Chains A and B, each alone.
Chain A
Amino acid sequence: MLPETLPVGIAEAIPTHLRRRSRGRFASRGGAWVVGLSVLVSLLALLPIAFVVGVYLQTGWSTLVPLVFRPRVGELLVNTVLLVVITIPLCIALGVALAWLTERTNLPGRRWWSLLATAPLAVPAFVHSYAWVSLVPPIHGLFAGVLVSVIAYFPFLYLPVAATLRRLDPAIEDVSESLGLKPWAVFFRVVLPQLRLAICGGALLVGLHLLAEYGLYAMIRFDTFTTAIFDQFKSTFNGPAANLLAGVLALCCLAMLTAESAARGNARYARVGSGSAREQRVVQLSAPLKALALFLQIITCVLALGVPLFTLGKWLMAGGTQVWDLPELLPALEQTLLLGVAGAALTTCAAIPIAWLSIRSPGRLQRLLEGCNYITSSLPGIVVALALVTATIHFARPIYQTTITVLLAYLLMFLPRALVSLRAGIAQAPVELENMARSLGRSPARALWLITLRLAAPGAAAGAALVFLAITNELTATLLLAPNGTRTLATGFWAMTSEIDYAAAAPYALLMIVLSLPLTGLLYHQSKKTAGR
């Protein structure tokens, strides 16, 4: 689930001299096919954007105006904007508070709290919503949307903020304190500004999820652009209203990307000077503060983990052995695993050329190619799926309704997840070794495979795991694109909850959580490592 949380930690960790040194001569020699492949992958990534633009160009002005400029679109815009502007600050506040408590204070059991703050990620967002709806049936609307979103997505902020907090040089804080700043002022004027990149990255990730999520909001009856597009799809397949709404949603995503890159600023965050930073001081909390902090941790845990686990347990008990309909569950599990593994393998392979270029031969072309992939992956699954349905039905009939199309959608949506980890891995493989293999007569591809990719394997594995996790919980694109007869855990869960058969849905939810747990653990472990601990 977490692509952009990692670059905050990792991108800065790549020494710039490593990127520079390898430029030039090398790329021009063996790199032609790598460039070719990268261009190919990036062109694919442009497909959904071409679709959105195409729809607008093709739809006549007279059709477009009444479908886009109507009160319903206004309602959806208000809903979506309110959701974003309320949820993101709450996520930031909660994420930063929890990160500070677990990283900087003597809160009892802070290692455990840190793990527990990551764990909600193992619960798919629509399972959070399912838990709340069956616990408090009348819950709905903006309040419910904000509540469940904060609970489901705050770890996206917690993780990068905690990782950054761990690396901060305490010297700056000491200096400001010695100059007379009170502890609170130190936090807001010195610590918080240093967290800017982590907060921006995490907030962007949360924001994109808010725009793209369908299941969460559908279940608690909160209409956003994504749910409205889905309603239109269910009534008209890829009719003009669905496609035009998709265009508006795509614009919202681009606006969010732009806002984030503007908010990042150009400040320098790396420490200056020789030697290593001193150990950070642990803040001693006073007893009432400690109680308050523990209360915050406990309440977060109860809401984000307690509620889903309690509800799931309740339904599993109520359903008994009857809901474990193995002839249905096992094929769903098998298909989820197959799609996950194939999707992760394909996406990771497709990321290799771009990742290699960005380390060995960074430049304008490479940044452009990478940008294409980031923009597309920020588009909601429903937009990508609508684009692929339309493209394959008209122009690529042989792959229409085949697994290839679903995998292609996964590739477009999740490529950056693989890219980020893979890039970090390749950056740590010395270019000299690859050059040496070339000088000993290995072809560029073999040198890349024998040397660099082997050294980058852990990064690639982490990237593949992230993609796998995302595919396991993917709902919208799978619903639209899956081949006839396909049922994954997510779509099975969705079919059951649509019939209000909450007990029968519980085993699907449990299996998704079990599949996600080890990967969430990996993510936690990786974020610790990023910070060098």
Chain B
Amino acid sequence: MISRLPSFLKKALLATALVSAGHVYAADSVGIVVYNAQHEGLTKAWVEGFTQETGIPVTLRNGDDTEMGNQIVQEGAASPADVFLTENSPAMVLVDNAGLFAPVDKTTLEQVDSAYRPAHGKWVGIAARSTVFVYNPSKLPETQLPKSIMDLAAPAWKGRWAASPGGADFQAIVAAILEQKGEAATLEWLKAMKTNFTAYRGNSSVLKAVNAGQIDSGVIYHYYSLVDQSKTGENSQNTALHYFKHKDPGAFVSISGGGVLASSQHKEQAQAFLKYVTGKEGQDTLKNGTSFEYAVGKNAQSNPKLVPLQQLDAPTVDASKLDSKKAVELMTQAGLL
């Protein structure tokens, strides 16, 4: 049959097969595959340093926290991923609950401050970020700032704040509220949010809108305006940051996680990657680079431009209990998704 096919058909089939084979081969070759939900720039910097040091090539698949977490769960034992990096903890919990992580090497765990990793050691913190209330001082005087993130449900805040509900960042904040305040209070808050807030796509867009005076304020993470100021500052120069502190749910510090998949065929290299990320060089990338995320390594320094983590007075939230599934369910129920 094949021999009777017209030759251009054969050529086309051959071309298709070659293209496919190239990619299949790339996935199965010596390097590791990292499912990356962290900011691409940051992970690329880690990968470059790691590959330079070890010679192990890394292939990235970029996506969002819970998208990739759910993806890994569905892929199960045959997942192509060797390492999973997130921006927030809930997606790590999702994969961990499915029993898909291999224990992280002890030396790696010991590199990280115990406050930024779950006690069971199935995954480890790689960086941290704080919830922040960004506002435009010309629209919202300092005296009117909310005391708690829960205040934003009040009718007085109607039309005055923004968020990016489709993103994993905000969903992690919701998961933290859920963990602290319980299901009923969270749902009520989310329903009030639906009435009060304006949805943007991505925290950068929220920042940009606040800066342009399209909206008074927004709930995002701390580093977006610092990243912008390290470039042109055009999207943040008219904004200021307000940290809720006082163990408020809105002072939540979210741990970005990293883990090695139990199904990985390249566990040694995968563990080495995690060790690099949490080690001195990996954590120095956080201090010296343009990500402006907090370092979580023992004795590691964060960028001096940041308000030190210790001063943020964050609530104590057990990262291994953050329930992304329930958070998304409640947000869907409140009509935010």
Contact = CB atoms under 8 A, between A and B. Distances in A.
B117 interface: no
A221 B199 contact: yes
A232 B60 CA distance: 22
Most chain B CB within 10 A, of A231, A235, A349, is at A235
Interface in A57-110: 66-67, 70-72, 75
B100 to A, nearest CB: 14
Contacts, number: 147
Interface string A324-368: 000000000000001101100110110000000000000000000
Contact of A402 (B24, B68, B70, B202): B24
A465 B141 CA distance: 57
A237 B9 contact: no
A404 B337 contact: no
* Overall SS of chain B's interface: helix
B212 interface: yes
B26 interface: yes
Interface string B162-197: 000111100100000000000000000000000000
B23 A237 contact: no
Given A231-B166, A239-B70, A499-B204, A484 B4 contact: no
Contacts of B22: 403
A521 B200 CA distance: 37
A443 B4 CA distance: 9
Interface in B1-21: 4-9, 11-13, 15-16, 19-20
A241 B337 contact: yes
A445 B337 contact: no
A74 to B, nearest CB: 9
A170 to B, nearest CB: 44
A339 B15 CA distance: 10
A484 B335 CA distance: 33
A484 B80 contact: yes
B205 interface: yes
A441 interface: no
Interface residues of B, number: 62
Contacts of B6: 445-446, 448-449, 453
B70 A445 contact: no
A395 to B, nearest CB: 12
A495 interface: yes
A149 B237 CA distance: 32
A235 B214 contact: no
A137 interface: yes
A337 B212 CA distance: 39
A397 B76 CA distance: 11
A445 B15 contact: no
Contacts of B73: 237
Nearest to A241: B332
6 contacts: A232-B332, A348-B12, A349-B12, A407-B16, A449-B9, A484-B61
Interface of B: 4-9, 11-13, 15-16, 19-20, 22-24, 26-27, 33, 39-40, 59-64, 66-71, 73-75, 78, 80, 165-168, 171, 199-202, 204-205, 208-209, 212, 214, 235, 324, 328, 331-333, 335-337
Given A67-B332, A232-B332, A235-B171, 6 more contacts: A223-B199, A235-B66, A349-B13, A393-B75, A449-B6, A500-B205
Interface of A: 66-67, 70-72, 75, 137-138, 218-219, 221, 223, 228, 231-239, 241, 338-339, 341-342, 345-346, 348-349, 393, 397, 400-404, 407, 443, 445-446, 448-449, 453, 483-486, 495, 498-500
